[in-house]
Amino acid sequence: MGPTAAPYETMHLVLLNTLPHLWKLFSGLKLINKDEDEAYIIPKSTLALVGRELCDARRTVPRAQARSLQNIDVHQKSLNAVKWMHFIVCSGEVLLAERLPREFLDIFMSPCRACRLIFWPRGVSEAESKTIDDDIKYFRAIYYAEIYRGSVERLSLRMSTIAPLLDVVPLLRARGPACVCWQFPMKWKIGALGKLIRSH
């Protein structure tokens, strides 16, 4: 039937599933073999430095943007899609460059490059769609090669949300820009409802 029969919501697929999963891997929150440190795990001292840099950056930007600059190591469970989007589009590349081995930084950067086009409000051209598709296919291939590695022991890392990323470009072609159908407006409305209800 194709992806348009039961479309994915790109915001949740990328920002609330794939990206938090990568962060858990890189920060050592998702360990497969507790006796062996993986090459992609960022040391705790480096994570603390990343958190301090994010907190220091809050003073240099307008208050509306500063809300997205939270210490990810401390607040990663409570980060919403807007904060993850800020991380993947704006600050993640700078914070993780030289702190992750090159092959694992490439795993992070391929969805970053794709998201800069996916979440662009004007829509994407055919050439940009091809770029997004190439980045997503590269991410999927290198994730399975470097992280999952086809091992039974690492079966929990073969996430069901990695394969649907291949449907992002067909969905962009069928429905238009990702912002047309993402759930930010509904989430904001639901968040405002509590203030409108006076009676218990």
Cα 72 to Cα 116: distance, rounded to the nearest angstrom = 20
Q: Is the pLDDT of residue 32 over 70?
A: yes
Taking only the tens place, the pLDDT of each residue in 105-143 is: 999 999 999 988 988 877 788 999 999 999 999 999 999
Give mean pLDDT, residues 44-65: 82
Structure tokens at 150: 């086809």
Q: Is the pLDDT of residue 158 over 80?
A: yes
Give mean pLDDT, residues 71-89: 78
CB 130 within 8 A of CB 101: no
Count of positions (residues) in the chain: 200
Structure tokens at 8: 């994915």
Alpha helices (H) in the chain, listed in sequence order: 10, 19-26, 44-57, 63-66, 72-75, 81-86, 92-96, 102-118, 126-143, 168-175, 184-196
